[in-house]
Structure 1
Amino acid sequence: MRLERSCKHLDKIENIGVILRPQSPELKNVYFKIEAMFLEKNINLILEENSANMIEKQGIDFDTLCKKVDFLISIGGDGTLLGLARKAFKYDLPVLGINLGTLGFLTDLSMEQLPKFIDDLLKDDYKINPRMIIEGQIKDKKFIAFNDIVISRKNLSTMLEVRAKIDKKAFNTYFGDGLIVSTPSGSTAYNLSVGGPIVYPLTNAFIITPIAPHSLTQRPIVVPADFEIEFKVTKDTGAVVIIDGQELYDLNKDEIIKIKIATKKSKMLHRSSRDFFEVLSEKLRWGN
């Protein structure tokens, strides 16, 4: 399958929606600095209402914001960007992440790089990368994930038994603490920390990685994203489904969670010079 390396560019750059890291009123001065940089280029910033209230400014509700702006900016870290990417998905808006955290696999733009990026933005020198999104469903409850869907045990003293099907055919039974179904974008998150593979972020694939499996034969596997995957917890030991580390749903005995690729992609706005392999080398200190 040929990879989609870039979406079309923005039609215009006049109004930008801004979401700040929650519960971080200390970002007020940072926001004013960013606002000044864009206003100098005659670009307006509009705050989402919760972010605005946090720094004692005026803002508008998220749905109205998305109808007014050309793209969105997340100011914080990867967690802030993840939450925004899911909320913005239905509006088909590109999202730019300004990194104020430490690791930043997704939010690659620093405050020091922002002035040049704004100039490049106005010169049409940037890229919008399409990122695979997972759709999940438990009974009539539907949700999406940018990074991963995790099935985890509730009780530390018990082991999960999870039966898996791929395209309606029995595939595996997992015994252990749980498992992760990750997108390529999420392969450098929880998946990486439990020994799963790193997958190039513009690939269309699911990464299924067991967490503390009770058998050496249970290994991570990468499968094409055109499969539909089902999981069922077969014992009444208590399980929870975690979406991008931010949303939780109970998964009861014999309930099925269905997972498939979304029909459209999330859009991530990046510097044209951003290179995934350079990010890996920097963040993971490869070669040091």
Structure 2
Amino acid sequence: MKLETAGVLFKPNSKNLISNYLEILNTLKQNNINYILETNSANTIDKEGLEFIKLCERSDFLLCVGGDGTLISTARKAYNFDIPILGINFGKLGFLIDIDQNQFDGFLKKIKKGEFRIDERLMLKLQIENKTYYSFNDIVLCKKSMRGLVDIDATINDKRFNHYRGDGVIVSTPTGSTAYNLSCGGPVIYPLGRGIVVTPISAHSLTQRPVVLPEVFNIKFKSVGEEDIKIIIDGQTSLQLARGEQISISQASKKAKLIHRCEFNYFDILSQKLRWGDYDK
């Protein structure tokens, strides 16, 4: 697969990084890789750009400059285009991105020689009424305020699965297992693995535990309590679920494609970012 034209997106509201953005564009030019700027990103540096849809149609890959949140947002928006994404980390955690600006030039040279890999990450599809949304990390059903509890009935393939009573429930992809899911006691799932993780949030029961389900399952959640429920997709999009309403969550038919170095090691990231396997000597 040849990566000759990059569709470039910058972290929103980040004029403090303009000099870095210009350096990145210059690095692309020096390595004979064409680039097209997304409209909002182009405005950041006073240049012309294309709307996102046209950008995806004319690019071989998307170059996402920012943090994990910027990459997640880009992956969701690019779902219909089946286009690989390369991230350059300017965020705080950088859990999903293994390239920083200092490594960018060297990695572009490897890309020109075909020395890179593309990892495919499972995504989730959420259906509510007649609308469809996609999630890269997780879908959270939670209470709207600090008071009260939510009551949620869950079915799998239209058969009773569970009843959740507490602060809510998290439905996570393997990639998202190290996000909110992990904070609530859920398991770490290898990001290229299969499965959907369902983790209760502060369950009002000693028997509720996280569970890993086959990715082929269709899970439905219905609000059956007095409290309305907030649905949060990847921490970026918020929806409402009223009493008696239902949503359906299943694996999406397409996967997100992330460009990595050939030597990228997930367990090194766990160790560096989350102190995986760390101990006091």
Query: Where do residues 127-206 of structure 1 align in structure 2 (5 Å cutoff)?
Result: 127-206=117-196
Q: Please say if 1:220 is aligned against 2:219.
A: no
> 1:254 offset after TM fit, Å?
1.1
Cα-to-partner distance string for 1:41-88 (whole Å, 9 max, x where unaligned): 111221100111122221111111111110001111000000000011
Take 1:202 and 1:38, find their aligned partners in 2: how far apart are those partners? 29
Cα-to-partner distance string for 1:119-165 (whole Å, 9 max, x where unaligned): 11011111001110100111111101000000010121110011111
Q: Please say if 1:243 is aligned against 2:236.
A: no
Per the normalisation by structure 1, the TM-score is: 0.94
Unmatched tracts of structure 1, length 5 or more? 1-9
Take 2:98 and 2:55, find their aligned partners in 1: how far apart are those partners? 24
Take 1:259 and 1:13, find their aligned partners in 2: how far apart are those partners? 33
Which residue is equivalent to 1:41? 31
Query: Where do residues 80-91 of structure 1 align in structure 2 (5 Å cutoff)?
Result: 80-91=70-81
Moved over 2 A (4+): none
Q: Please say if 1:16 is aligned against 2:6.
A: yes
Contact map agreement 1:155 1:238 (CA 8 A) in 2: no
Contact map agreement 1:20 1:27 (CA 8 A) in 2: no
CA RMSD of aligned residues (A): 1.0
Take 1:55 and 1:210, find their aligned partners in 2: how far apart are those partners? 44
Q: Please say if 1:73 is aligned against 2:72.
A: no
Q: Which amino acid aligns with 1:139?
A: E
Take 2:182 and 2:105, find their aligned partners in 1: how far apart are those partners? 33
SS in 1 for 2:263: coil
> 1:36 offset after TM fit, Å?
1.1
Q: Which amino acid aligns with 2:61?
A: F
> 1:178 offset after TM fit, Å?
0.5
Q: Which amino acid aligns with 1:157?
A: R
Per the normalisation by structure 2, the TM-score is: 0.97
Q: Please say if 1:106 is aligned against 2:71.
A: no
SS in 2 for 1:112: helix
Which residue is equivalent to 2:116? 126
Take 1:285 and 1:149, find their aligned partners in 2: how far apart are those partners? 25
Unmatched tracts of structure 2, length 5 or more? none
Take 2:187 and 2:37, find their aligned partners in 1: how far apart are those partners? 37
Percent identity of paired positions between Structure 1 and Structure 2? 47
Moved more, 240-249 or 107-116: 107-116
Take 1:30 and 1:89, find their aligned partners in 2: how far apart are those partners? 27
Q: Please say if 1:284 is aligned against 2:274.
A: yes
Q: How many residues align?
A: 278
Cα-to-partner distance string for 1:202-236 (whole Å, 9 max, x where unaligned): 11210001111111211111011011000011013
> 1:14 offset after TM fit, Å?
2.1
Contact map agreement 1:97 1:109 (CA 8 A) in 2: yes
SS in 2 for 1:195: coil
SS in 2 for 1:51: helix
Which residue is equivalent to 1:6? none
Contact map agreement 1:105 1:188 (CA 8 A) in 2: no
Which residue is equivalent to 2:16? 26
